[in-house]
Amino acid sequence: MGAAGSSALGRLGLPASRLPAQPRPGWLAVTALGLAAVALGTVAWRRARSRRRRRLQQVGTVAQLWIYPVKSCKGVAVSAAECTALGLRCGHLRDRFWLVIKEDGHMVTARQEPRLVLVSITYEGDRLILRAPGMDQLVLPGKLPSSNKLHDCRLFGMDIKGRDCGDQAAKWFTSFLKTEAFRLVQFEDHMKGRSSKKIFSTLVPNYQVAYPDCSPIMLLSEASLVDLNTRLEKKLKMDQFRPSIVVTGCDAFEEDTWDELLIGNVEMKKVLACPSYRLCDPSEKQIYKSSPLFGVYYSVEKVGSLNVGDPVYRMVP
């Protein structure tokens, strides 16, 4: 058979025909390629059938979708979003694609500068508009000039790039935070994200993230927050935990058991779950130290679109 047919059959573990090295009739080549196509089709059909055998169990409904453009600043509620491998997107809004850094490149979050949570964000067309108490608004373009400086940034001990957003943005954050000089950087699609294999020491799906802590999606249920607040004197709000997807219609902490989800046409796989009233797994302590965790973190296995009101299905083998 031809080299293409032999190679295809070899990859499938099927023996290639052994014929003398001589000119072959055309029908032999056609037959070989036909066999390869049948074999490949059989494999694809078996995989699809296996996939279909997984039972879909509805476990809730999407109540809210949130995008947090600047890490540690306020989120933007959206009714629909594209779920990419790097997180939610709605037009020029990208989830945690902007980051405040020190002049040496180290990240700055609300853990170091709590006033960051007071920065609110709206968007008009391709512009992001930032507002904060006592400050004039800051307007950021959705796309930066390629001539802007690239910074080597440092997040949780890992290196990642960021495009400088300019002196005006730097002065705005420096004036608002009033502690030292800061810069604002933006992640771009062509940049290399931080690898999940380097973030975690445990076995997790293989993916990349920009400036989120550890995964592109964090999911939390309304019932879990209600339960948590019964244990606390000072009640907490949902936005304090910064979930990408808020689910309603399930029991408290039921989401801890959802290993694989289908929402809209998006498939997700659980990375870790660690509610705040429990200590996190020892393997993740080096990431969060004493900071509490809450919610379930997911990787995106199949990209697609999400809408408020979408049913949330758990994939059951």
Q: Provide the angle, in degrees to the nearest 10, between the axes of the packed helices 3-11 and 26-52.
A: 30
First-to-last C-alpha distance (Å) of the chain: 40
Q: pLDDT tens string for the chain (317 positions)?
A: 444 333 332 333 333 333 334 444 554 454 545 555 545 555 454 554 445 567 999 999 999 999 999 999 999 999 999 999 999 999 989 999 999 999 999 999 999 999 999 999 999 888 999 999 999 999 999 889 999 999 999 999 999 999 999 999 999 999 999 999 999 999 999 999 999 999 887 778 899 999 999 999 999 999 999 998 988 889 999 998 999 999 999 999 999 899 999 999 999 999 976 544 444 455 555 555 555 567 899 999 999 999 999 999 999 98
Give bridge partners of residue 61 from the DSSP assignment: 248, 311
Domain boundaries, the chain: 98-186
* pTM confidence score: 0.78
Q: What angle do CA 33, 35, 39 make, to 5 degrees?
A: 115
The number of residues in the chain equals 317
Phi, psi of 292 (to 5 degrees): -75, 155
For residues 161 and 171, give the distance between their C-alpha atoms in angstroms, rounded to a whole number.
21
In terms of Cβ atoms closer than 10 Å to its own Cβ (0-12, 13-18, 19+), residue 239 is middle
Going by the DSSP 8-state scheme, the letter that residue 256 receives in this structure is G
Q: Is residue 142 within 8 Å of 127, Cβ to Cβ?
A: yes
